[in-house]
Structure 1
Amino acid sequence: MGISARLDKIHLQAKSNKWMNYFAIFLRVILAYGFIASGMVKILGERFAVGLSANHPMGQYLVALHHTGFYYTFIGVVQVIAALLLVIPRTVILGALIYFPVILNIFMLSYAVRFEGSAFTSPLMMLACLYLILWNYDKIKYILPFDHSNAPHIITVPKTLNKTFPIKFFLGTAAIIVAVILFSIFGWQIAPRNNLRDCNSQFAGTNRTKAGAIFCDCIHKQGLPLNNSMELYDKAPNDAMVKK
């Protein structure tokens, strides 16, 4: 059995399961809501994440993006269009293909600047969108470099769906969510955090409180780039030992 035939078999098994279908619908709705909410902010001309300091690396990016005029509005329009296409059954795959590069960019940006605001949501939204793309594998499989000569052009899903709950799949999904949560909390040694107080709090009880104060001052007061701030943090000495 070739790769294409194996993927067809796995895809058919998934689409024949009632719970997997419910999960796909749930993802379509939740992803659509996420982009409609954030897209409308841009269409209305409001700055995204208003409460975030303009000196924060992500804050600097969002302020600059807000000042791009109609490009900022364009991003919002694309997000809303992608969301609406996800809701309509006939256009799900088109919506997912538009949605994916946008959420991938948000995910990469969030982790590049260590932004806690979307460190948890963006990777899960990206994986959810990828799931929807794979869910519609039968519609896009011919662009993949596999031999499709023996593959059926139309995969027929049985009218009566399998009601067996896919325990392994949902346990794997839960494990991914937990892993993302843990990484968003403990994945970075230091992070800018959303404000000066929270930034300094991560160094409390360590021997790097002074170095941490330098890092947080560079980020939240001076507005220095993240890499420069981390270099100054690394060069700063540890706190002096307190003699008892």
Structure 2
Amino acid sequence: MFKFILTQRWIVGCIRFWLGFILLSAGVTKMLHGNFIQLIGPPWLIEVLAKHQLGLFAEFIAISQIIIGFCLLVKRFATLGAVMAVPMFLNILMVTISQDWRGTPYVVGFFLACNIYLLIWDFDKLKFLLTDQEEAVPKGGITRKNIQIDLLYLIGLVPILIAVLISMPLRASQILAFGGLIWWVGVYVWKLIQKQKNIHK
């Protein structure tokens, strides 16, 4: 039983990382006009929609993808990211269907199904949204066991947002965006090392 739960957690972790990186890279790629790691989505979306006075809307979508991707990548915010990813994937799905992109709706539909699996896994955290019994809803403020880790992860988001929101040479933007990703990896590795040290104490 323990091995099965451990395997499920590993699968959930892989799905979170996979969906998070897909969304984050898609958002950064759009904002950097195709000059980043492109996994899904047309990098020219902003330019095309700008012709119809919808450039700001396209940028909003790209920034939203970055934020949602960040939340999915960071386990501490993964449930929030999975909730926000549902309307994002649904919107992408509708666009691909309306544009008659053959095959793409099935890919996006698979992403959506994977995201729903994440919500099912986190159902215990979300079930209070569905109850009408107020006494069943936890009371009190928000508590975090280690707020420093939250801040370290958020620090990694800053250079990525700077890279896509502030006009600068392309190379500098790419370095900042990659720097944010590397920072997250560093924080994650450091967290694992600290966890192992605590286990062996």
Distance (whole Å) between structure 2 residues aligned to residue 72 and residue 14 of structure 1: 45
Aligned to 2:67: 81
1:101-120 residue pairs with structure 2 within 5 A? 101-116=87-102, 118-120=104-106
**How many Å separate the matches in 2 of 1:15 and 1:93?**
23
Q: Which moved more, 1:16-25 or 1:120-129?
A: 16-25
Partner of 2:121: 135
Which secondary structure does the structure 2 equivalent of 1:17 belong to? Answer: helix
Q: Distance in 2 between matches of 1:134 and 1:89?
A: 16
What pairs up with 1:1-244 in 2 under 5 angstroms?
17-45=5-33, 49=42, 63-64=48-49, 68-116=54-102, 118-145=104-131
- Report if the CA contact (8 A) 2:28-2:62 is conserved: yes
Alignment partners' CA distance in 2, 1:39 and 1:87 = 14
Distance 1:24 1:65 in 2: 37
Alpha-carbon distance, 1:94 to partner:
0.7
Alpha-carbon displacement from aligned partner over 1:190-227 (angstroms, at most 9, x marks no partner): xxxxxxxxxxxxxxxxxxxxxxxxxxxxxxxxxxxxxx
CA drift of 1:141 comes to 0.1
Q: Which amino acid aligns with 1:31?
A: L
Distance change >3 Å, CA 15–CA 120, structure 1 → 2: farther
Q: TM-score by structure 2 length?
A: 0.55
The alpha carbon displacement at 1:105 in A equals: 1.1
The unaligned stretches of length 5 or more in structure 2 are 36-40, 140-201
Task: Give, in whole Å, the separation in 2 of the partners of 1:141 and 1:14.
Answer: 24
Distance 1:87 1:118 in 2: 23
Could you say which structure has the greater relative contact order, defined with CA pairs below 8 angstroms and 6 or more residues apart? 1
2 CA distance for matches of 1:28 and 1:79? 14
Bigger mean CA deviation after superposition, 32-41 or 105-114: 105-114
Whichever residue aligns with residue 130 of structure 1, its letter is I
**C-alpha deviation, 1:36, in angstroms:** 1.7
AA at the equivalent of 1:17: I
- 1:85-140 deviations in whole A, cap 9, x for unaligned? 11111111111111110011111222233212622320011011111111111111
CA displacement, residues 158-185 of structure 1 (integer Å, 9 cap, x when unaligned): xxxxxxxxxxxxxxxxxxxxxxxxxxxx
Q: Say if 2:49 and 2:58, in contact at 8 Å, map to a contact too.
A: no
TM-score scaled by structure 1?
0.46
Considering only CA atoms, is the larger Rg found in Structure 1 or Structure 2?
1
Give identity over the alignment, percent. Answer: 23
SS of structure 2 residue aligned to 1:97:
helix
Count of matched residue pairs: 133
Pair 62,15 (structure 1): closer, same or farther in 2 beyond 3 Å: farther
Gaps of 5+ in 1: 1-12, 52-58, 154-244
RMSD: 3.6
Q: Which of structure 1's runs of 4+ aligned residues deviate more than 6 A? A: 13-16, 146-153
User: Quick one: which amino acid aligns to residue 49 of structure 1?
Assistant: P
